[in-house]
Amino acid sequence: MFKTTIKFLSIRRITTILSIVLMILSGLSLVTRGLNPGIDFTGGFQIEVSFQEAPEIQQVRLDLSTSGFDDAIVQNSGSATDLMIRTAPREGVDSRKVGNQIIEAVSQSSNNVELLSSEYVSAQVGEELTEQGGLAMIFALIMIMIYIVFRFQWKFSIGAVLALIHDVLITLGIFSFFQITFDLAVLAAILAVVGYSLNDTIVIFDRIRENFRSMRRTETLEVLNASITQTISRTIITSSTTLMVLLALYFMGGQSLSGFSVALIIGVLIGTYSSIFVASTSVFYLDISTTDLLPSKREEVDDGMP
Amino acid sequence: MNQYPFWKNAMVIIVILLGTLFALPNFYGEDPALIISKESGLVFNEAELKDVEDFLLSRESNFTSVTNKNGDLLIRFANVEGQIDASDRLRSYLGRFSTVALTFAPRMPGWIQQLDLNQMSLGLDLRGGVYFKFEVDLDAAIQQRLDQYITDINKSLIDQRIRRSIRKEGNSLRVELVNPEDYNQARRSVREIDNLLEVTNASSGSQTVMVVSMTDEQLKQRRDFAIQQNILTMRNRVNELGVAEPIVQRQGLDRIVVQLPGVQDPTQAERILGATATLEFRLVCENENAFEAEEKGRAPIGCDLFKDRSGNPVLLKKKAIVTGNQLIDASQSFSQGRPAVSIRLDSKGSKSMLETTKKNLNKPMAVLFVQQRQETIEEDGDFFNRSVLDKEVINIATIRGVFSSQFEITGLTVFEAKDLAILLRAGALAAPIFKIEEKTVGPSLGQDNIDKGFAAIVAGLIAIIIFMILYYKGFGLIANIGLVVNLTLIVALLSLLQASLTLPGIAGIVLTVGMAVDANVLIFERIREELRNGNSPQASIAAGYQKAFGTIADANITTLIAALVLFTFGTGPIKGFAVTLSLGILTSLFTAIIASRAVVNFFYGNKTIEKLRI
């Protein structure tokens, strides 16, 4: 598609600064604002109700606080007639009664209320999940690093993991900045972002490895640029098709999947950027060279498929 | 060039045919239905079937058919409203000896049913229902066992006239002996009760102390027993609820997950699952003043202080005549127009009741309603659950005659009587349980989720199909065939494995659809590159597939690692997502590399091609 090599890495200073600034801002937002965790992580009650006619949210809040739920979070979910109500775990209350109490409270002054879904998570389960989620993330990163060291080389491994940390941190940063609810589905999405972004990075790395072997006398920067150029149309096409389905999921998949789709949309965009600029720039700064990639003892066997 | 050996072509065709066959049941959809079964495992006959049919006809129910399925009745409905409406009517019509369960019946034609193929099983978020996760209080199970040991040891030592005092210390018992010379004999009797118990001498100075503790093995056994017993009991109780395809399973060390598809009232379900209600019978301490005891906050020796339903203090004898585990049946009845419960006792309980009533004619006897309640407490900002045993006096009546195994009591509400009856029929929980998670999804939301998920898949699929044809022309069509085959294979695998499909699972499928073309894109881009480098079309095809393979493998294995980590660490929804994502990666490897190549070979293999349109 592109006959001449595009000098992607000539703007590496700008992209590096941009990435670092974004990561610092994300970190700052995570520290100061924090995430807006769903009840999967905090524990508590979450109830989705559908009203016959669109309710006044202000009135619903008032009804709830007069019934003792002054900490309840009320927001629209999906349509104007559907509401999502969330409240923290509470002391000395029989957990099996809270759901009914909330429904009673919101139906005081309003029209017909239908229960769509209700959820209760104890604080203890929430804590475990937070722990598990963090562990899963770390464990996934370690496993992936090991695989890349084994299949490629340690410099690539570091490049790939830096790109992943970059993607996850910035996606989390955006969730924190806009205070989008961070629930289990979003956590799954972020791990899928890890998988996706890695996919992209590996494709470019694969080409870099191949080119280092075939373009022996070329300068490192030239090899990197050539590799990115050769794979760029694939990168764009795959990102586009993935974004297409994610947009379909966001617009048609309903409220329950919106957080999930948003996380993946952000993640795919950042992941595409990072595999070009973060991963490749990192291996450049790590001073990758032909000697790192010469087939060691045995000649790399071309996996004769099919 | 570019030709597959026969076996490879045959394999591709067989896999696709099998995949289509396994996926087929899902295209027929489901009817809302009811399953009616007789409690004792008896079967329905033709006359009874006709009777039910007539009943439904007379109530103008919009059912579509009534059939006999392995002795149970399967009634199909046109919609969920009709199903729910009829279930209520049938429950009251058929009475307590039949269970009416809500379910969905697949609409497959006969020949598929005969092959015993299944539809994908839908998760609760798609079909509606209640999900509970309970934690079993294993510590309480251990403490109960220790209490039992105390009773046994006390009894044995009393028989041998050994003076002692016993109290619990963590997971062991501290037995203090008054006479040091009793030590060996006491030790022997403890070993007689249970020779696995560890007995150590902890005497110091003038005190003779024996520490009796359970071994780690015993503790583990006791915990496992408690969980197994609880699962068994909860299964029995779920059956009382009348739910089709319920799931009750252990999760991890001390958790039990219960899934009740179709159930809409979590409160009722939880009350029945967690019912701990039982009864205890005691004599009243007649010559003591209960109000005085309440003021002092201390009960006189031999008595315990309780309250009755109006909050008045009552003093009862410490020793129970009959405790909960001696009750074997309870059924609701009416006594002089008030709800009553008839009680049946086991032989031990009957004997004790007979002796007591004989000796204490015209004296008052109290019935205690015993119930475990869960309470959330806060400690240093953390929330904990604990179970509290509530004992409440529901009734004090004068013993008018001698009775033993069967009698009636009053003072219970209808709900309490029902709970008690269920508990006695389905068995008691071996250890208290706490609800730590609950999810309820209404049926309308479930259907909504299915519709939306399906719409998203179709929309995404169409967008990609158009894009691929515009961009890669003929080869795009081949990638699209691969995409459709890929979807079919995922559905086939899900139906085959019967892994339940959840909303995040659908998201996983959508994501796979987006990423599945990646392998083809990699291959096609390679082919284009080879063509640009001046290679012949045939050579370009071969080189394109060959060179892209390593990249595709690397890229997919790393994604698979992420998916497997999700599967290992995740619970519930995350697992569902990981399953479809992993399956999707595997099937897309097959379709993109092997199947698409077969099609390419079929069209281009062994032919002279002037120009490749790609």
Out of A100, A123, A241, the one facing B267 most closely (by C-beta) is A100
Residue B501 is classified by DSSP as: B
On whether both A144 and A185 belong to a single domain, the answer is: yes
How many contacts does A have with B, using Cβ atoms within 8 A? 267
Sign for the CA dihedral angle at B510, B513, B519, B524 comes to: negative
Residue A303 in any domain: the answer is: no
Q: Which candidate, B187, B184, B214, places its Cα nearest to that of B198?
A: B214
Give the pLDDT confidence score for residue B282 in this predicted structure.
92
Residue B574 in contact with residue B432, Cβ under 8 Å? no
Taking CB atoms and an 8 Å limit, are B563 and A195 in contact across chains? Answer: yes
Among A43, A147, A254, select the one facing B558 at the smallest CB separation: A147
Rounded to whole angstroms, what are the CA distances from B132 to A54, A208, B18, B436?
A: 31, 51, 37, 8
Q: Which residue of B has its CA nearest to A300?
A: B550
- Nearest CA to B132 out of B39, B221, B231 is that of B231
Closest among B216, B222, B212 to B186, alpha carbons compared: B212
Whether pLDDT at B417 is above 80: no
Residues A138 and A31 both lie in one domain? yes
Identify the residue with better confidence: B538 or A299: B538
Q: Which of A121, A145, A180 is the last residue of a domain?
A: A121
Is A260 or B1 the better-scoring residue by pLDDT?
A: A260
pLDDT at B427 over 70: yes
To the nearest whole Å, the CA of B438 is away from the closest chain A CA by 5
SS3 (DSSP) at B322:
strand
A 10 A CB-CB count for B72 gives: 18
A15–chain B nearest CA distance, Å: 24
Minimum distance, in Å, between the CA of residue B609 and any CA atom of chain A: 21
Q: What is the pLDDT of residue A304?
A: 46
Q: What is the enclosing helix (H) or strand (E) of B135? A: strand B129-136
Q: What is the CATH number of the domain that holds A267?
A: 1.20.1640.10
Nearest residue, CB atoms, A203 vs list B377, B517, B522: B522
pLDDT the model gives residue B382: 66
Say if B30-106 and B129-274+429-441 have the same CATH topology. yes
Kind and range of the H or E run holding B470 = helix B443-472
Interface test with B, best of A122, A142, A236, A293 (most B CBs within 10 A): A122
Average pLDDT over residues B160-175: 87
**A180 lies in the same domain as A60:** no
CB-nearest partner of B562 from A124, A133, A140: A140
| Closest among A99, A124, A103 to A113, alpha carbons compared | A103
So what's the pLDDT on residue B169? Answer: 86
pLDDT, position A95 = 61
Percent of chain B at pLDDT > 70 equals: 96
Asked if residue A199 and residue A51 are part of one domain, the reply reads no
Q: Identify all chain B residues contacting A46, using CB atoms and an 8 Å cutoff.
A: none
pLDDT at A229: 93
pLDDT of residue B354: 92
**Residue B364 clears pLDDT 80, i.e. is over it:** yes
Q: Which of B435, B460, B561 sits opposite A140 (nearest CB)?
A: B561
How far, in Å, CA of A285 to CA of A291, rounded? 16
pLDDT computed for residue B283 by the predictor? 92
Of A189, A237, A252, the CB nearest to B455: A252
Q: How far apart are CA A148 and CA A146, in angstroms?
A: 5
Q: Report ipTM for this prediction.
A: 0.83
Q: Tell me: do A184 and A60 sit in the same domain.
A: no
Q: What is the pLDDT of residue A2?
A: 57
Mean pLDDT within B20-30: 88
The confidence band for B374, taking pLDDT boundaries of 50, 70 and 90, is low
A150 and A49 in one domain? no
Banded model confidence at residue B235, pLDDT cuts 50, 70, 90: confident
* Percentage of residues of chain B with pLDDT beyond 90: 16
Average pLDDT of the segment spanning B350-354: 91
Distance from CA of A31 to the nearest CA of B (A): 21
Amino acid at position A257, single letter: L
Closest residue to A91, CB basis, from B8, B377, B546: B377
* CA quadruple B189, B195, B196, B201: dihedral sign: positive
- For residue A301, tell me if it sits in a domain: no
Q: Which portions of chain A are predicted below pLDDT 50?
A: 1, 297-306
- Residue B383 has a pLDDT of 65
Res A299: pLDDT: 45
Residue A2 lies in a domain: no
Q: What class does CATH assign to B6-24+442-604?
A: mainly alpha
What is the distance in angstroms between the Cα of B26 and the nearest Cα belonging to chain A? 20
Six-digit token string for B55: 């009943």
pLDDT of residue A93: 61
Crossing angle between the packed helical segments B138-159 and B183-193, to the nearest 10 degrees: 130
What's the gap in Å between the CA of A132 and the closest CA on chain B? 6
Last residue of a domain, one of A63, A98, A121: A121
> A101 and A164, same structural domain?
no
The model's pLDDT over B482-500, given as tens digits with 9 standing for 90+, comes to 999 999 999 999 999 888 8
User: Domain extents for chain B?
Assistant: 6-24+442-604, 30-106, 129-274+429-441, 275-422
Place of tokens 């340690």: A154
Query: Is-contact A79 A9, C-beta < 8 A?
Result: no
The whole-number pLDDT of residue B451 equals: 87
Q: Is A184's CB within 8 Å of B573's CB? A: yes
Q: Which helix (H) or strand (E) holds B266?
A: helix B266-273
User: What local confidence, expressed as pLDDT, does residue B565 receive?
Assistant: 84
Contact B438 A120 (CB under 8 A): yes
B129: nearest CA partner in chain A: A117
Contacts of B375 in chain A (CB under 8 A): 92, 94
User: For the domain that residue A86 is a member of, what is the CATH number?
Assistant: 3.30.70.3400
Nearest chain A residue to B590, by CA: A306
For residue A98, being part of any structural domain is answered with yes
Closest chain A residue to B378, measured at CA: A91
**Residue A137 and residue A114 share a domain:** no
Give the pLDDT confidence score for residue A274 in this predicted structure: 94
Provide the terminal-to-terminal Cα distance of chain A, rounded to the nearest Å: 25
Q: What is the pTM of this model?
A: 0.77
**Are A209 and A277 members of one domain?**
yes
Which tens digits make up the pLDDT trace of B539-585?
999 999 999 998 888 888 888 888 888 888 777 677 888 889 899 99
A51 domain-assigned: yes
| Total domains, chain A | 2
Alpha helical stretches, state H, chain A: 12-32, 39-42, 57-66, 95-107, 123-151, 154-177, 184-214, 220-252, 258-274, 280-285, 290-293
Cβ proximity of B27 and B496 under 8 Å: no
Residue A6 in contact with residue A226, Cβ under 8 Å? no
Confirm or reject CATH 3.30.1360.200 for domain B275-422, answering yes or no: yes
DSSP H helices, B59-208, are 80-94, 110-114, 124-127, 138-159, 183-193
Q: By residue range, what is the domain housing residue A200?
A: 8-37+126-293
Q: Are residues A265 and A134 in the same domain?
A: yes
The answer to whether the Cβ–Cβ distance between A124 and B373 falls below 8 Å is no
Between CA B89 and CA B87 the distance in angstroms is 5
Given this model, what pLDDT does residue A110 score?
Answer: 62
CATH number of B129-274+429-441: 3.30.70.3400
Is residue B536's pLDDT more than 80? yes
Q: Which residue of A has its CA nearest to B373?
A: A94
Residue B64 has a pLDDT of 86
At A3 the pLDDT is 63
Mean pLDDT of B289-295: 83
Cβ of A202 and B555 within 8 Å? yes
Determine, for residues B435 and A305 on separate chains, whether the beta-carbon distance falls below 8 Å.
no
Q: For residue A301, how many other CB atoms are within 10 A of its CB?
A: 8
Q: Is the backbone of residue B302 left (phi > 0), alpha (psi -120 to 50) or beta?
A: left
Residues in chain B with CB shorter than 8 Å from the CB of A143 are: 561, 565
Give yes or no: residues A132 and A272 share one domain.
yes
Q: Is A137 exposed, middle or buried (0-12, 13-18, 19+ CB in 10 A)?
A: buried
CATH 3.40.50.300, domain B30-106, yes or no: no
Do both A187 and A169 map to the same domain?
yes
